Structure 1
Amino acid sequence: MSGEALRVDTASPVPPYEQIRAQLSGLITSGRLPEGERLPTVRQLAADLGLAPGTVARAYRELEAAALIRTRRGAGTRVAPLPSDLRQGPDPAELAELARAFVTAARTAGAPDPAISAAVAEALRE
């Protein structure tokens, strides 16, 4: 896993730690980051994204509290076994919140609704 898989929009109203948390949570719950996959260190991911280490550390703490990752001394941070309540997919309210945040950011950037819809459709095809 590398920082290139994550994107942080510093102009977004969504705090960077929440963007990281939401993206990693989505990658884990969708299975794109499988159980046991090693995540970058806090310092490495912060450097890759151009953020303060504390920002990444907060995202990791929240993911650990949600039982999505585990950090062990000497073994690093790895994707934890998916909790049974998340195996069915993400929470619809969380998904709606992420969609609203994307639409807000896209509109702020000046994108018209058809372009936003096309971007979502393209992302789903990837």
Structure 2
Amino acid sequence: MAHWLFKSEPDAWSWDQQMAKGPAGEEWHGVRNYQARNNMRAMKVGDLGFFYHSNVGKEIVGIVEVCAESHPDSTTDDPRWDCVDIRAVRPLPRPVTLDQAKADPRLAGMALVKNTRLSVQPVTAAEWKIVCELGGL
């Protein structure tokens, strides 16, 4: 199983909205970056990801699961753009802020710390464990 991080501006799509979608989940659509798209193309059903509030809050707030593999993005007719479906698994007991991640030397190589603009990014097994620990899991 691989691990990922999904970024969303909470005023556009929030953790609460993701939770409200229930077991069916929601398409992670609207991504228009080739690297982020390629990350989604690599995902498998059952992969886990962090849900990150960008711009407002700048914190990892929950865990999601990929529930449908890469398919055409329903928000465009352009065949270059794919998406996956994700469903909420659980909130983090303590959100992990970007400042916390940047301050932890164990996370210095994390994509969230090094490339804060990439909207869908891989997370290593070691980074996953550390963030879960920081988040109270």
TM range (shorter): 0.3 to 0.5
Name whichever structure is richer in helix by fraction: 1
Name whichever structure is richer in strand by fraction: 2
Give TM-score, length-normalised by structure 1: 0.32
Give TM-score, length-normalised by structure 2: 0.31
